[in-house]
Amino acid sequence: DWNAGNFIEEKVKVIREQVGQGTVVLGLSGGVDSSVAALLLHKAIGKQLTCVFVDHGLMRKDEMKQVQAYFAPFELNVIWVDASDEFLGALAGVTDPEQKRKIIGGKFIEVFEREAGKVKADFLGQGTTYPDVIESSGIGGAILVKSHHNVGGLPERMKLKLVEPLRELFKDEVRATGLALGLPEEMNQRHPFPGPGLAVRLPGAITRERATILQNADAIFMQELKDSGWYRKTSQAFAVLLPVQTVGIMGDERTFEWMCALRAVTSEDFMTADWARLPHELLEKIAQRIVREVKGINRVVYDITSKPPATIEYE
Ligand code: XMP
């Protein structure tokens, strides 16, 4: 039987053999896969590993600070990069979903290459898992309707050899490995978050102001889901800021502000998904809090479409 303790012990040997006295650079996103890969590599080769965390300005609220806090006890080498001006600048005025994805993907490679180039690395570490391997070899039969943000071309561009210690693992095994390596539960049980981040949840033109409004609404949604126990019962959940203003009333004032959509789904493999039957009382509380606490939003709707025909993200 598969066992996280044995897996870690064996992988540590394999990594040490492969890397020798070399150095590894790894893109840490704060997601489960890259976090577990970072901890496993760190256990094997310690300071020969350097992680690069790129904040593109479209992450969850306070994401970089939170990841810093979670990783502080492990004493990893991490280069923390705030590239939000660069990304948001490149995205200014862009409304086409595919165009946004291409800009973010291209910028990410540029920024990562620049930062990672500061470490004279021999290897690129990646948190590739078994489902990623299947999907990219086409066995999964997935029809990709969106150009996915990935760093597939990086190893060749940077002339680096790959280290992918999680390549044989399924998601539950990745999480079991994370648990055994001491990754905090809150990190280990995270919902997936798309590479282009909030860009795919901000239809229309992206501005820092709109990103901040969305982060604030999303943070309330996440907190309420966690407090009510619904975060674990859903596979993915998030807020979306629609590019629509509607009339509302606050006190005796007329308002004309943005509309927010809440999306929560259950899914086995993210190829299909069902909308989550969140209790009405919970939805009511979240909507009230968002309208009351987030300046710029005066209306909240709940998305009840499944995938297909809708996709999970909005772009
Ligand atoms: P859709 O919106 O296609 O999303 O139903 C399916 C799953 O993929 C995630 N997603 C992405 N993940 N880079 C990623 O790493 C991307 O560009 C990307 N686009 C969508 C999405 O969050 C969902 O889990």
**pLDDT at 157 (0 to 100):** 81
- pLDDT above 90 coverage of the chain, percent: 90
Using most ligand atoms within 8 A of CB, pick from 312, 314, 315 the residue to mutate for ligand 1.
312
Give the model's confidence band at 142: pLDDT under 50 very low, under 70 low, under 90 confident, else very high. very low
pTM, rounded to two decimals: 0.94
State the chain's mean pLDDT as an integer. Answer: 94
Q: Is 29 marked as a binding-site residue?
A: yes
Pick from 39-43, 119-123, 157-161: least confident: 157-161
**pLDDT at 132 (0 to 100):** 85
CATH architecture of 4-188: 3-Layer(aba) Sandwich (3.40)
Q: Is 36 marked as a binding-site residue?
A: no
For ligand 1, atom 21, the nearest C-alpha belongs to 194
Q: Is 127 marked as a binding-site residue?
A: no
Give the model's confidence band at 154: pLDDT under 50 very low, under 70 low, under 90 confident, else very high. confident
User: Per residue, what are the HEC states of the chain?
Assistant: CCCHHHHHHHHHHHHHHHHCCCCEEEECCCCHHHHHHHHHHHHHHHHHEEEEEEECCCCCCCHHHHHHHHHHHHCCEEEEEECHHHHHHHHCCCCCHHHHHHHHHHHHHHHHHHHHCCCCCCEEECCCCHHHHHHHHCCCCCCCCCCCCCCCCHHHHCCCEEECCCCCCCHHHHHHHHHHCCCCHHHHCCCCCCCCHHHHHCCCCCCHHHHHHHHHHHHHHHHHHHHHCCCCCCCEEEEEEEEEEEEEEECCEEEEEEEEEEEEEECCCCCCEEECCCCHHHHHHHHHHHHHHCCCEEEEEECCCCECCCCCCCC
**pLDDT at 259 (0 to 100):** 98
**pLDDT at 135 (0 to 100):** 74
- Reply yes or no on whether the pLDDT at 143 is more than 60: no
One of 3.40.605.10, 3.40.50.10190, 3.30.300.10, 3.30.410.10 is the CATH number of 207-302, namely: 3.30.300.10
Pick from 138-152, 185-199, 238-252: least confident: 138-152
Q: Map out the domains of the chain as residue ranges.
A: 4-188, 207-302
CB of 311 within 6 A of ligand 1: the answer is yes
Using most ligand atoms within 8 A of CB, pick from 270, 275, 305 the residue to mutate for ligand 1.
270
CB of 77 within 6 A of ligand 1: the answer is no
For 4-46, what is each residue's pLDDT tens digit? 999 999 999 999 999 999 999 999 999 999 999 999 999 999 9
Whole-number Å distance, alpha carbon 218 to ligand 1 midpoint, is 17
The pLDDT of 131-143, averaged and rounded, is 64
For 84-107, what is each residue's pLDDT tens digit? 999 999 999 999 999 999 999 999
- Reply yes or no on whether the pLDDT at 139 is more than 60: no
